[in-house]
Structure 1
Amino acid sequence: MERWPALELAGTIRHDGDGGVADDLATTEDATRWIRGQDGLLPAHIGAGELTADEDLKRQIVELRRAVRALFARAVSPAPPSPADAHRLMPAEQALAHLNATAARELIAPQLEWRHEAPPAVRLLTAQDDPHGALLAALSRAAIDFLSGPQREQLRACTAPRCVRYFVKSHGRQEWCKTSCGNRARAARHYRRHRVASEDDSALG
């Protein structure tokens, strides 16, 4: 399954398995673990696998996540957004401004490398000596690429009970982010139908 850094960032708010919501960026240790898990998804010059989050970086990633999730909510509209933060979304214009300003924190230039008998490859050249700023800028650029690309039209908020994830629909009738959510949603529908039927029988009796 394809992974997008923007979706990975939005997905750091998730169902905790017990009816609540977990935050994968809750502590600096959590944030460090998440950043290092993005190594390979982000440009190599970021060195995500070696970065360590401090409180300021964690706060800035969380604020960027707020902007991304607000724009995801806009992207899925008029369908409802994820219930995790639907009641406290950052205003869309503020989210746009924040995303664009963060993306501009690092100026980069693509460089073409074409070694002997190897296919051409792109290397990003940067004068930035701020690995935390470079990380935030890369996450912002990834969100811009995602929201301006074709996958935006397939973005959905999972409608399964208790799920708070956004996902990219991979086939025409997909309603849920994963099979377990589909099973839970079908079970909930079955329960509601039988409860209504029981209530109707009781009323007739």
Structure 2
Amino acid sequence: MELLIGEPLALDLVNTRTRDFDALDTPEGFGIWLDRQAGRLTPSEGPFTADDLGAVRDLRAHVEAAVGAVRRGEGPSLETVEAINVAMRAAPAYAHLDVVGDALTKGARRDGDRRARLLAQLAEAAADLLTDPAAGRIRACEGPGCRMIFLPAHPRRRWCSPELCGNRVRVARHYRRHKPE
């Protein structure tokens, strides 16, 4: 399973579907993706159901459509925007004060069931990305057959990952140059 992790969270969500694998097909695959997002999402208690995965797939489709529109220099459809807004409203974040020993800490909490909380976090990540001026720089990987997208830190970045697609392209180029005639 080759999952691109480490892009903005909304792009990592879109990238849960690769050329050969969809992390949202099974609770186990989704659990692996969630584990790799440690520190970026509030941990969830227990496994997700098929209905939960369906809700995440629906949100992913809307995020993917919105990102595609932004990449084309267009505005996303009102349906897509509303779907993202509905997910954010289902479990809005609120400030919360905790006492840890003698110290006070401020954090964020959410009401709602775990599906609503997860969808709200993912939708907020999408809203953050879509309203960031850098969103216009989101690119598709140039690797053959790759469907990953990324936000390049360097303008010359061409592949989702130098270790994955970058290496495949370099190996294919080397083979073409040294192929016996």
- Unmatched runs of 5 consecutive residues or more in structure 1: 16-20, 79-90, 194-205
Structure 2 residue aligned with 1:56: 51
Structure 2 residue aligned with 1:97: 82
Q: Does 1:110 align with 2:90?
A: no
TM-score using structure 1 length: 0.69
Distance verdict in 2 for CA 1:28–1:107, change over 3 Å: same
Matches of 1:125 and 1:107, distance apart in 2: 8
Q: Does 1:4 align with 2:8?
A: yes
2:98 and 2:106 in contact (8 A); partners too? yes
2:63 and 2:126 in contact (8 A); partners too? yes
| Matched letter for residue 171 of structure 1 | H
Q: How does 1:55-74 map to 2 (within 5 A)?
A: 55-74=50-69
Structure 2 residue aligned with 1:85: none
1:155 and 1:166 in contact (8 A); partners too? yes
Structure 2 residue aligned with 1:141: 124
2:43 to 33, 47, 51: 47
Matches of 2:33 and 2:174, distance apart in 1: 37
Structure 1 residue aligned with 2:26: 27
Structure 2 residue aligned with 1:197: none
Alpha-carbon distance, 1:92 to partner? 3.1
Alpha-carbon distance, 1:155 to partner? 1.1
2:6 and 2:12 in contact (8 A); partners too? no
Matches of 1:14 and 1:175, distance apart in 2: 17
- The SS at the match of 2:139 is strand
Alpha-carbon distance, 1:191 to partner? 8.6
1:35 and 1:51 in contact (8 A); partners too? no
Matches of 1:38 and 1:51, distance apart in 2: 16
| Matched letter for residue 14 of structure 1 | T
Matches of 2:7 and 2:46, distance apart in 1: 20
Residues 126-156 of structure 1 deviation map (CA, whole Å, 9 limit, x = unaligned): 3x24112111111111111111124313211
1:76 and 1:157 in contact (8 A); partners too? no
Q: Flag the structure with larger Rg.
A: 1
Structure 1 residue aligned with 2:166: 182
2:91 and 2:112 in contact (8 A); partners too? no
Distance verdict in 2 for CA 1:32–1:116, change over 3 Å: closer
| Matched letter for residue 177 of structure 1 | C
- Unmatched runs of 5 consecutive residues or more in structure 2: none
Structure 1 residue aligned with 2:109: 125
- The SS at the match of 2:160 is coil
Alpha-carbon distance, 1:102 to partner? 0.8
Structure 1 residue aligned with 2:37: 38
Percent of residue pairs bearing the same amino acid type: 31
2:138 and 2:150 in contact (8 A); partners too? yes
Distance verdict in 2 for CA 1:186–1:38, change over 3 Å: closer
| Matched letter for residue 95 of structure 2 | P
TM-score using structure 2 length: 0.78
